[in-house]
C-alpha cells in the first residue's frame, strides 16, 4: 500500500478554464479512486489532435473547466474497491475507450465499442457517482474522455487501463495509448490491405503515419500520402510512404488524381485528418469492386458526409474506427510487445519533448503543423 492510498492527493494539473485559452498549471486535489477505479501517477503524456479539438471546442460542445489529455503512460498509485487485476506499482497506459469485459461488444471479436466505457466526449464525471475526482478549493474540475492525463495524478475506470510490460520505456510507449495504436490498427485491423496492394493515407500527422506504417507492415507496395502541408512529405518517407499528393497542387478533386495514378483507384484508403472533404475524397478514391476506405479523423460536429449512392453500388466499402479497433486491455499489451521485439518503431513518431510547465508549447507546435508527437514530461 502506498502512503497516499485512501488520501486526497494535492498535485499539479494543466487546467483548461475556457475554450482556446492557454492551459494553466494549477494545484488540484485528486480524490481517491472509488469502486472499480484506479488512481494513476502520470509520468509522460503527449498531445493528440483530439485534445486540441476539444480545447478549441470546435469539434463538439465541450465541458469546462476541464483537464484534457488522453495519450499517456504511468504507474498505478492505488486502486479502489473491487479492482483485482491491477495493483500499486503496475505500469499502465490509460485509454480513452474502455473494455468492461462483459458487454456484447467486449464479447464480440469485431467490436471495441464497449457499452459501458466507449468514448464519451461530453461526460466530464466518473461513472460510479456522477462526480469529478478533481477539484480546486472545492470547485469541481471536469474529466476528459475518462483519462485526463494532463495531471500528475488522475483517476480512471479500471476498464480503461492497459497493464503493460514493466520493462517498456514509458516515455516512448505513451504514444501507443492513442495515436500510434489508432493509425496502426486502422490499417491492420480494419482496412486490412493485402501484400502488394496500394493504400492511400489522408493526413500525415502521427495517426496517418502510423496508418502508413501499418500498410508497410502488411506489405503494401504503393503507399500514397495526401496532405495539404507539403512540409510533411520529407518526414513521411521514413514511414514507408512512396508517393505524395498535395490536393492544392491540382485543379481537380484529389480522388480523381489518385484514380489516374492507380488505374482506377487504390485498394485501401485510411483518412486521418478530421476534415469532411478529405473523408469524402478518401472514400471516392478507392477502386470499385473491392476498395475499402476507413475513417479515423474526428469530424466537426456539424459535418455531413455526402457522396453519390452509386459509389456504394459499385462495390466500394466505407468503414470507421475508434482506436484502430483495438480492445485496450486485451490487445494493447501485445502492441507494446511489438515495440519491445522491434517489430514496431515508435521513436520516429516522437519529434519534440517539453517539461510540464511548457505544455502550451505542445499545442502551438500542433497548431503550426510542426513535428509529430510532443512528449510532455510530468517531472
Residue 18 in contact with residue 350, Cβ under 8 Å? Answer: no
Any catalytic annotation for residue 216? no
Residue 12 in contact with residue 28, Cβ under 8 Å? Answer: yes
Question: Angle, to 10 degrees, between the axis of helix 359-368 and the axis of helix 49-56?
Answer: 100
Q: Does 211 bind Zn ion (CB under 5 A)?
A: no
Subset of residues 158 to 217 that bind ligand NAD, contact rule: CB under 6 A: 178-179, 182, 202-208
Joined together, the cell numbers standing for residue 133 give: 475526482
- In this complex, which beta carbon is closest to ligand NAD, that of residue 78 or of residue 281? 281
Any catalytic annotation for residue 374? no
- In this complex, which beta carbon is closest to Zn ion, that of residue 68 or of residue 178? 178
Within 10 A of 32 (CB to CB), how many other CB atoms are there? 18
How far is residue 8's CA from residue 28's CA, in Å, rounded to a whole number? 10
Residue 135 bridge partners (DSSP): 29, 140
- In this complex, which beta carbon is closest to ligand NAD, that of residue 176 or of residue 207? 207
Q: Does 323 bind ligand NAD (CB under 6 A)?
A: yes
How far is residue 24's CA from residue 30's CA, in Å, rounded to a whole number? 17
Burial string for 68-106 (b: 16+ CB within 10 Å, else e) reads bbbbbbbbbbbbbeebeebebebbbbbbbbbbbbebebb
Q: Which residue is catalytic, options 45, 50, 147, 187?
A: 50
Joined together, the cell numbers standing for residue 196 give: 502488394
Pairing mode, strands 198-202 and 268-271 = parallel
- In this complex, which beta carbon is closest to ligand NAD, that of residue 71 or of residue 152? 71
Q: Contacting Zn ion (CB under 5 A), which of 178, 186, 190, 372?
A: 178
Any catalytic annotation for residue 160? no
Residue 192 in contact with residue 262, Cβ under 8 Å? Answer: no
Nearest distance from C-beta of residue 260 to ligand NAD, angstroms: 18
Q: Does 50 bind Zn ion (CB under 5 A)?
A: yes
Binding window for Zn ion (CB under 5 A); candidates: 28-36, 74-82, 92-100, 194-202:
92-100
Q: Does 103 bind Zn ion (CB under 5 A)?
A: yes
- In this complex, which beta carbon is closest to ligand NAD, that of residue 46 or of residue 197? 46
Q: Which residue is catalytic, options 11, 100, 160, 174?
A: 100
Q: Which helix (H) or strand (E) holds 233?
A: helix 232-236
Q: Which amino acids are annotated catalytic?
A: 48-50, 70-71, 100, 103, 106, 114, 118, 178, 373
Binding interface with ligand NAD (CB under 6 A): 48-50, 53, 178-179, 182, 202-208, 226-229, 232, 247, 272-275, 277-278, 296-298, 321-323, 366, 369
Binding interface with Zn ion (CB under 5 A): 48, 50, 100, 103, 106, 114, 178
Amino acid at each position: 500500500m502506498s502512503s497516499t492510498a485512501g488520501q486526497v492527493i494535492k498535485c499539479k494539473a494543466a487546467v483548461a478554464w475556457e475554450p482556446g485559452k492557454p492551459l494553466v498549471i494549477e494545484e488540484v486535489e485528486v480524490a481517491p479512486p472509488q469502486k472499480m477505479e484506479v488512481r494513476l501517477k502520470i509520468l509522460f503524456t503527449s498531445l493528440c489532435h483530439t485534445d486540441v479539438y476539444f480545447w478549441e471546442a470546435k469539434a463538439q460542445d465541450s465541458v469546462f473547466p476541464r483537464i484534457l489529455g488522453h495519450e499517456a503512460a504511468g504507474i498505478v498509485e492505488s486502486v479502489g474497491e473491487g479492482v483485482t487485476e491491477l495493483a500499486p506499482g503496475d505500469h499502465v497506459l490509460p485509454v480513452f475507450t474502455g473494455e468492461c469485459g462483459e458487454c456484447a461488444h467486449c464479447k464480440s471479436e469485431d467490436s471495441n465499442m464497449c457499452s459501458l466505457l466507449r468514448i464519451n466526449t461530453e461526460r466530464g464525471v466518473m461513472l460510479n457517482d456522477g462526480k469529478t475526482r478533481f477539484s480546486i478549493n472545492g470547485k469541481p474540475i471536469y474529466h476528459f474522455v475518462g483519462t485526463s492525463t494532463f495531471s500528475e495524478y488522475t483517476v480512471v475506470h479500471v476498464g480503461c487501463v492497459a497493464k503493460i510490460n514493466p520493462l517498456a520505456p514509458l516515455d516512448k510507449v505513451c504514444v501507443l495509448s492513442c495515436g500510434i495504436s489508432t493509425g496502426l490498427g486502422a490499417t491492420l485491423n480494419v482496412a486490412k490491405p493485402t501484400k502488394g496492394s496500394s493504400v492511400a493515407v489522408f493526413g500525415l500527422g502521427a495517426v496517418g503515419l502510423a496508418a502508413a506504417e501499418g500498410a508497410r507492415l502488411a506489405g503494401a507496395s504503393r503507399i500514397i500520402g495526401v496532405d495539404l502541408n507539403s512540409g510533411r512529405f520529407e518526414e513521411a518517407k521514413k514511414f514507408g510512404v512512396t508517393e505524395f499528393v498535395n490536393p492544392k497542387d491540382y485543379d481537380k478533386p484529389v480522388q480523381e488524381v489518385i484514380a489516374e495514378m492507380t488505374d482506377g483507384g487504390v485498394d485501401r484508403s485510411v483518412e486521418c485528418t478530421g476534415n469532411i472533404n478529405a473523408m469524402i475524397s478518401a472514400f471516392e478514391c478507392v477502386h470499385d469492386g473491392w476498395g475499402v476506405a476507413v475513417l479515423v479523423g474526428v469530424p466537426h460536429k456539424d459535418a455531413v458526409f455526402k457522396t453519390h449512392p452509386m459509389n456504394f453500388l459499385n462495390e466500394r466499402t466505407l468503414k470507421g474506427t475508434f482506436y484502430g479497433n483495438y480492445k485496450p486491455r486485451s490487445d494493447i499489451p501485445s502492441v507494446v510487445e511489438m515495440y519491445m521485439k522491434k517489430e514496431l518503431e515508435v521513436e520516429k513518431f516522437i519529434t519534440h519533448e517539453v517539461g510540464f510547465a511548457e505544455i502550451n508549447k505542445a499545442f502551438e507546435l500542433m497548431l503550426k503543423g510542426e513535428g509529430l508527437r510532443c512528449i510532455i514530461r510530468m517531472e
